Structures are given as structure tokens and as C-alpha cells.
């Protein structure tokens, strides 16, 4: 084997964004015909490294060898010419173009479109047969599901004769069945001799599909090992640099009275799309109800109604008293006054004001609190600041500096600020949307512990997450949403990922047989 040069060899790659050293002296070898995983926490520098390989960023130092040849990759054009294709986490597709136009863009054969499109149509057909990548070439991208859009991205790379395919967090937006299908396709590409680099933070995927795995931590390469010679706990420890609990440690729930009761909730948006279709469920004090589902199936709207900033029809009772759903008498403020705390899904837009300091952010939504006022006109900033400092210390926010802008904290620490603000107010009901999206493993552990602690204090918790592991680990009951409806409720001990995955894809028991 030693006489075959590696498909890719990076030597001493360094890259800084201002004062932030995203990549520090990174070296890595990827053998041809293998699936190589790169794993690390958010901000560990995985995506930066791959963007350098794809010519999206220029490295400050270091060398790139493709198939043993030293190669300069100043831009994406050069990367494509070197046989590298990349599927970004956020797809780089033109939404209102057809599949064909997207595939051809940048790889046209001449100044006129017609011959290029005709050739691409023929090529797509043979690629579809070779790799089971069937997509309607005339479909418009925005009409396609994310799984299909991802296929288009893979086809784009293959159409440009990529031998090396980089996928950045490819399963983040997929249902489990879609992810399985993607892995089958990747297996097939590998069998055809393609080299695949898979960037992910999901340990299970690494264990399932890769041949070798490199672990990155804080911009540095920790180690590269054979997947068969490692295990998830070992990888997690390498990623974080200390031992972590992969399972949520919790005792069985002791549910009490019903706190939240939702009856026949319906939402039709401005475009006339029916977003919620008769959603009913309840949450008891002292339990966590997890809502699983692929994003965009009505979970966001559900949280928005409960949080008081979306209109709906139907009925929501909190401790037996109805909430206003017309939007006329409700907003986040009035909901908080009723004892509903909300950790929103999109913390950077809904949970925080990124340009404001941490101490200001810890008061938002509760800034009318009498503790924060000097008199009817003036706010007591000193009190808020003291309070913020206390919360930040207790929630181990790093750096624990309340004067720093929210945008200067890492994702995990931003989320800790939001969670601290919402939990510390002793709510009856906590709404939590995607609590650990973009949060590193160490902080995930902490946030999960806080949520469980709140449950044990006898509060009702509604958890919405697209991460099945999180739903399975944290929930006392699981409801699955698909297309604005609750497909069913399960107990975590009586179900498995496969069953939930099918429900998330809209397949009910009758059809799955």
C-alpha cells in the first residue's frame, strides 16, 4: 500500500481570521478509495480546513498535495480542476434554476447554452444510472426537498469529474431514512474508487461509515485513527479533551398535573399554506415532552404560537386558563408574565441581540421586572449587571464578562446566556427549541443537565429538536411532527430511531409494512 500516494495530503496548513487562529499547523493524509471522517466540535476548524482545500479560503501557510503532486489551490476553479468537489452544509444552489441549469453553471462547454444543457442532460442520465442518483433534470430547485437538493450538489461535483468529494455536515438536514440513503450512495461512490471526506459532529455516522477518522480540536489536529480501532466514547474524549457523558443522566419522570394543554391548533400562513393541522397534545408538570421532526414541519410555528408571536386558531390552556391566540393581546412579554419561558430555536435572531452586551441580553423580555427598575423612568443597570454576572458564573459562561457583546461568545456560551435568562425566572412551562444546535459537546452536556434539573423541580418542558439523539435522550414522552400534524406519540423506552424516522418521514404504521 505504501507505494500508492495519498489522494490528498495537507502539510502544515494554518489559517487565521483576524485574531482567531482557525487552523494551526494541520497535516492530514487521506488514502484514495476510502471514506475519511473529520470530526470535531463547532469551531474546531473542520469547515475552514475543507474550505481551504476547495479554494474558498487561502491558507496563510502550508502545502497541498493531490495524488502526490504539489498543487496550488488559489480558487475554487483550481480545486475543481484538481478533481475536488464539495457539498457545503448550506447548499450552493440557485433556487429558481432547474437542476440542469445548476449542474451546468460554471461548467458550460461554450458561449451558448443549448449544447451544454443537452450534453448535461445525457450525462446526468448516465450518472443517475451509475450511482442511483435519480433527479428530474427539469425540476426547479426550490420545489425539491433537501434530500434531493443534496443529490443535485453531489451530481454537480460528479459532473465536474470530481474524484475527491468533500461533504460538510451532510446529514444535518436529512431524515434518518434520507441519511441512510445518502450513506448508501457514498458507499457506492467509494466502490467506484472515489475518495470521500465526511465532516460531521455526529459520532454515530463516523462509526457507521468511515474507514479512518481525524479528530480536530480548537483548530489543531488531535489524531487520526482507524475507525475499527476506536469507539464513540474515545472519539468524544479526543474531541473535547476530557471525559464526557454521552448519555443524559436522569431519573424516571414523576409527572403531575397538566400544565399545558393544546387543542386542535391550526395555522394558515400569509401564502395560504396550512402550517399546523389540528395539533393537540398536553404537557404535565415534571415531564419533558419532546417533539421530533425534520425542520420545517410546523415545529417552529408551534413554538411561535406558544411564545406569543404568531396567530393561530384552536385552544391553548395554561394551568386551565386559555391563552390569547389572536395576536391582539399577546406577545412574548405577556406570555412570560403567564409563566412561559422560551429558549427560541434561532438564538442569534430570536434569542439574543448579537450587537448588545451579555448583561443587556440577560434582561431582555424581563426588563420590566421591578428588580431592574430604579423608578418609573429609569432602569437599574447596576442591578442588571450584578444579576448578569451572577448568572454567567453559575452557568459557567466563558468568558464570564457581562460587558462583552453577545456575538463574541461561542455558540455554546451564547446558548448558556439564553438558557440562564429563561430558566432562572422559575417558569411553569419552558419552551426549548433546538437547545444544542451549533453547541459543542461539553456545553450540550451542561444544557441538558439544566433542562433535566428544571423538570425535576416540577416544571413542564416542551422540547423541540431535529436531533433524534437529543429527543431520545432527554424526553419522557416523544411526539413526532410531520407536515403540520402530530403523527403519533411514543415512549422513549418503547421505540427506536427507525420507528421515529419513519414517522418523521410521514409513514404511519399501516404503510410501513
Partner 1 sequence: MDFFTIVQLGDASVRMAIPLLLACLAGLFSERAGIFDIGLEGKMLAAAFVSAAVSYTSGSVWVGLLAGIGISVVLAIIHGIASITFKGNQLISGVAINFFAAGLTVVIAQGWFAQGGRTPSLPQDARFNGLDFPGALSRMRDKMQASPGMQFYSEFVSGHSILVYLGLLAVPLSWWILYRTRFGLRLRAVGEAPEAVDTAGISVVRLRFSAVIICGILCGIAGAYLSTAVQAGFTKDMTANRGFIALAALIFAKWRPWYALGACLLFGLFFAIDIRFSNIQLQIIWIMVLLLGCAAALTIYAVRREKIDVIVLGGLSAVLAAVAFTAWFATASADGISIFAALWETVKVPSQLIQSLPYLFVVIVLAGFVGKAIPPRAGGQPYVKER
Segment contacting partner 1 by CB under 8 A, of 5-13, 78-86, 214-222, 233-241: 78-86
Distance of CA 421 to the CA centre of its chain: 22
Directed axis angle between helix 232-240 and helix 441-456, to 10°?
100
Distance CA(208)–CA(79), nearest Å, equals 28
Asked if 243 is part of the footprint of partner 1 (rule: CB under 8 A), the reply reads no
Asked if 66 is part of the footprint of partner 1 (rule: CB under 8 A), the reply reads no
Q: Is 17 helix (H, G, I), strand (E, B) or coil?
A: strand
Binding-site string for partner 1 from residue 208 to residue 237, where x marks contact by CB under 8 A and - marks none:
------------------------------
| Identified binder of partner 1 from the candidate list 95, 223, 228, 408, rule CB under 8 A | 95
Distance of CA 149 to the CA centre of its chain: 17
| Identified binder of partner 1 from the candidate list 9, 101, 301, 345, rule CB under 8 A | 101
Residue of 365, 348, 483 lying closest to 405 (CA atoms): 348
Tell me how far, at minimum, the Cβ of 91 lies from partner 1, in Å: 8
Within 135-194, the residues that bind partner 1 by CB under 8 A are 156
Calculated CA dihedral for residues 133, 139, 142, 148, nearest 10 degrees: -10
| Identified binder of partner 1 from the candidate list 12, 61, 70, 94, rule CB under 8 A | 94
Element containing residue 451 per DSSP (H, E): helix 441-456
| Identified binder of partner 1 from the candidate list 6, 23, 54, 414, rule CB under 8 A | 54
Segment contacting partner 1 by CB under 8 A, of 75-83, 174-182, 188-196, 335-343: 75-83
Binding-site string for partner 1 from residue 108 to residue 137, where x marks contact by CB under 8 A and - marks none:
x-xxxxx-x---------------------
Residue 307 corresponds to which cell in the numbers above? 411564545
**How many C-beta atoms surround the C-beta of residue 131 within 10 A?**
20
Which residues is 26 bridged to in the sheet?
13
Residue 181 corresponds to which cell in the numbers above? 440513503
Tell me how far, at minimum, the Cβ of 90 lies from partner 1, in Å: 8
Phi, psi of 110 (to 5 degrees): -160, -175
Asked if 104 is part of the footprint of partner 1 (rule: CB under 8 A), the reply reads yes
**How many C-beta atoms surround the C-beta of residue 425 within 10 A?**
14
Tell me how far, at minimum, the Cβ of 51 lies from partner 1, in Å: 9
Within 9-28, the residues that bind partner 1 by CB under 8 A are 17
Segment contacting partner 1 by CB under 8 A, of 71-79, 335-343, 378-386, 422-430: 71-79
Asked if the bond preceding 399 is cis, omega within 30° of 0, the reply is: yes
Asked if 408 is part of the footprint of partner 1 (rule: CB under 8 A), the reply reads no
Phi, psi of 322 (to 5 degrees): -70, 150
| Identified binder of partner 1 from the candidate list 70, 92, 254, 386, rule CB under 8 A | 92
Count interface residues toward partner 1 (CB under 8 A): 34
Element containing residue 382 per DSSP (H, E): helix 381-394
CB nearer partner 1, residue 175 or residue 413? 413
Tell me how far, at minimum, the Cβ of 261 lies from partner 1, in Å: 33
Phi, psi of 436 (to 5 degrees): -120, 20
Asked if 102 is part of the footprint of partner 1 (rule: CB under 8 A), the reply reads yes
Instruction: Name, in order, each residue with C-beta under 8 angstroms of 450's C-beta and a sequence gap of 6 or more.
Output: 395, 419, 423
Say if CB 426 and CB 315 are below 8 A apart. no
| Identified binder of partner 1 from the candidate list 27, 42, 76, 282, rule CB under 8 A | 76
Distance CA(416)–CA(392), nearest Å, equals 8
Segment contacting partner 1 by CB under 8 A, of 101-109, 231-239, 386-394, 433-441: 101-109
Tell me how far, at minimum, the Cβ of 155 lies from partner 1, in Å: 13
Segment contacting partner 1 by CB under 8 A, of 105-113, 307-315, 392-400, 468-476: 105-113
Tell me how far, at minimum, the Cβ of 458 lies from partner 1, in Å: 43
Distance CA(261)–CA(275), nearest Å, equals 19
| Identified binder of partner 1 from the candidate list 10, 88, 345, 384, rule CB under 8 A | 88
Say if CB 203 and CB 235 are below 8 A apart. yes
Tell me how far, at minimum, the Cβ of 76 lies from partner 1, in Å: 4
Asked if 327 is part of the footprint of partner 1 (rule: CB under 8 A), the reply reads no
Buried b (16+ CB within 10 A) or exposed e, 493-513: eebeeebbbbbbbbbeeeeee
Distance CA(104)–CA(330), nearest Å, equals 49
CB nearer partner 1, residue 106 or residue 187? 106
Tell me how far, at minimum, the Cβ of 148 lies from partner 1, in Å: 16
Q: Which residues bind partner 1 (CB under 8 A)?
A: 17, 54-57, 75-80, 86, 88, 90, 92-97, 101-102, 104-108, 110-114, 116, 156
Amino acid at each position: 500500500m505504501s507505494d500508492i500516494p495519498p489522494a490528498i495530503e495537507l502539510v502544515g496548513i494554518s489559517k487565521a481570521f483576524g485574531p482567531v487562529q482557525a487552523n494551526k499547523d494541520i497535516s492530514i493524509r487521506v488514502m484514495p478509495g476510502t471514506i475519511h471522517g473529520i470530526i470535531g466540535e463547532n469551531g474546531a476548524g473542520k469547515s475552514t480546513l475543507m474550505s481551504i482545500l476547495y479554494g474558498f479560503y487561502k491558507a496563510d501557510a502550508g502545502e497541498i498535495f493531490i495524488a502526490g503532486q504539489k498543487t496550488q489551490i488559489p480558487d475554487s476553479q483550481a480545486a475543481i480542476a484538481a478533481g475536488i468537489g464539495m457539498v457545503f452544509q448550506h447548499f450552493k444552489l440557485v433556487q429558481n434554476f432547474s437542476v440542469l441549469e445548476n449542474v451546468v453553471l460554471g461548467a458550460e462547454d461554450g458561449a451558448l447554452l443549448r449544447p451544454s444543457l443537452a450534453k448535461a442532460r445525457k450525462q446526468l442520465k448516465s450518472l443517475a444510472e451509475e450511482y442511483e442518483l435519480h433527479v428530474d433534470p427539469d425540476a426547479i430547485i426550490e420545489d425539491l426537498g433537501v434530500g434531493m437538493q443534496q443529490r443535485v450538489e453531489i451530481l454537480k461535483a460528479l459532473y465536474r469529474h470530481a474524484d475527491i468529494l468533500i461533504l460538510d455536515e451532510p446529514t444535518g438536514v436529512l431524515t434518518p431514512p434520507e441519511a441512510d440513503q445518502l450513506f448508501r450512495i457514498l458507499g457506492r461512490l467509494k466502490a467506484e474508487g472515489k475518495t470521500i471526506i465526511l465532516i460531521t459532529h455526529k459520532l454515530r455516522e463516523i462509526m457507521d461509515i468511515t474507514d479512518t477518522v481525524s479528530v480536530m480540536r480548537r483548530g489543531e489536529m488531535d489524531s487520526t485513527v482507524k475507525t475499527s480501532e476506536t469507539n464513540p466514547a474515545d472519539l468524544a474524549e479526543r474531541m473535547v479533551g476530557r471525559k464526557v457523558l454521552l448519555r443524559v443522566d436522569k431519573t424516571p419522570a414523576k409527572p403531575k398535573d397538566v400544565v399545558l394543554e393544546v387543542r386542535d391548533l391550526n395555522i394558515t400562513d400569509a401564502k395560504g399554506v396550512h402550517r399546523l393541522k389540528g395539533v393537540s397534545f398536553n404537557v404535565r408538570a415534571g415531564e419533558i415532552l419532546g417533539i421530533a421532526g425534520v425542520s420545517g414541519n410546523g415545529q417552529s410555528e408551534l413554538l411561535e404560537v406558544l411564545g406569543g408571536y404568531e396567530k393561530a386558531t384552536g385552544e391553548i390552556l395554561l394551568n386551565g386558563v386559555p391563552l390569547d391566540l389572536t395576536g391582539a393581546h399577546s406577545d412574548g412579554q405577556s406570555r412570560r408574565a403567564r409563566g412561559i419561558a422560551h429558549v427560541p430555536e434561532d438564538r442569534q435572531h430570536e434569542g439574543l441581540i448579537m450587537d448588545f452586551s451579555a448583561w443587556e441580553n440577560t434582561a431582555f423580555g424581563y426588563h420590566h421586572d421591578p428588580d431592574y427598575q430604579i423608578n418609573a423612568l429609569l432602569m437599574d443597570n447596576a442591578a442588571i449587571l450584578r444579576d448578569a454576572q451572577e448568572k454567567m458564573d453559575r452557568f459557567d459562561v466563558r468568558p464570564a464578562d457581562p460587558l462583552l457583546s453577545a456575538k463574541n461568545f461561542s455558540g455554546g456560551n451564547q446558548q448558556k446566556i439564553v438558557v440562564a435568562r429563561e430558566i432562572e425566572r422559575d417558569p411553569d412551562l419552558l419552551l426549548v427549541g433546538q437547545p444544542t444546535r451549533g453547541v459543542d459537546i461539553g456545553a450540550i452536556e451542561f444544557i441538558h443537565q439544566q433542562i433535566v434539573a428544571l423538570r425535576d423541580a416540577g416544571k413542564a418542558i416542551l422540547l423541540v429538536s431535529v436531533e433524534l439523539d437529543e429527543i431520545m435522550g432527554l424526553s419522557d414522552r416523544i411526539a413526532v411532527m410531520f407536515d403540520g400534524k402530530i403523527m403519533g406519540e411514543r415512549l422513549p423506552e418503547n421505540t427506536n430511531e427507525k420507528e421515529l424516522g419513519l414517522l418523521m418521514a410521514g409513514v404511519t404504521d399501516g404503510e410501513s409494512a
